[in-house]
Chain A
């Protein structure tokens, strides 16, 4: 596709449930990033992939959060046992080469609401 695609655009779930958020980066972009943005705040780094491997997962808040990118393209962010505090906009971004050597292209985001 022309840009970074994220699905679903909106997800409402109940506390304790499992959710998956999907990101399809720009074709050919090897670097992929997940960020979390709460209302009125800047994007908060979660995890960075270079190819298939998670090169930096230091931003994941706890072990309920996990992300994969098995074929070096599409990535899935997985959240187990969701909590109300997980409610936020989850943004995916990709860039052409290695980390932060150029602009990040963001998707429209997946808004997660945990009731």
Chain B
């Protein structure tokens, strides 16, 4: 079935280090969205990627959509304690929209 995988499951970094989470699908996606969920909070939309090979930046965050539209990544440069949370990708398969299991980021001050 349609499934979105994310790695790593957990990531612990020292403040100032970089962080990357990867999202993979076995089949082609129409588009992909990224969400952030703070501890005890609800998912908050970060970005949507639609085009093959698309790269978007939001301050220290860089989002990429693979050429085959089967994978995506989120890279955070110089993490801060405010980046703590779980990052979810959500793949649009046309008829279904499937969230990945998330990558939980801890940032040590």
* A contact residues around B31 at 8 Å (CB): 100
Q: Are B42's CB and A91's CB within 8 A?
A: yes
Interface CB pairs A-B, < 8 A, 21: A40-B101, A41-B102, A42-B88, A42-B99, A42-B100, A43-B43, A44-B99, A45-B97, A45-B98, A56-B95, A58-B96, A100-B31, A100-B92, A100-B97, A104-B35, A104-B43, A104-B45, A105-B45, A106-B44, A107-B42, A109-B42
The answer to whether B21 has its CB under 8 Å from any CB of chain A is: no
- How many residues belonging to B are interface residues under a CB distance threshold of 8 Å? 21
Name A residues whose Cβ lies closer than 8 Å to a Cβ of B. 35, 40-45, 56, 58, 91, 99-100, 102-109
Contacts A107-B42, A108-B42 hold; do A45 and B101 have CB atoms under 8 A apart?
Answer: no
Are B42 and A45 closer than 8 Å at their CB atoms? no
A6 CA to B98 CA in the complex, in Å?
22
Q: Is B48 part of the contact surface with A, judged by Cβ < 8 Å?
A: yes
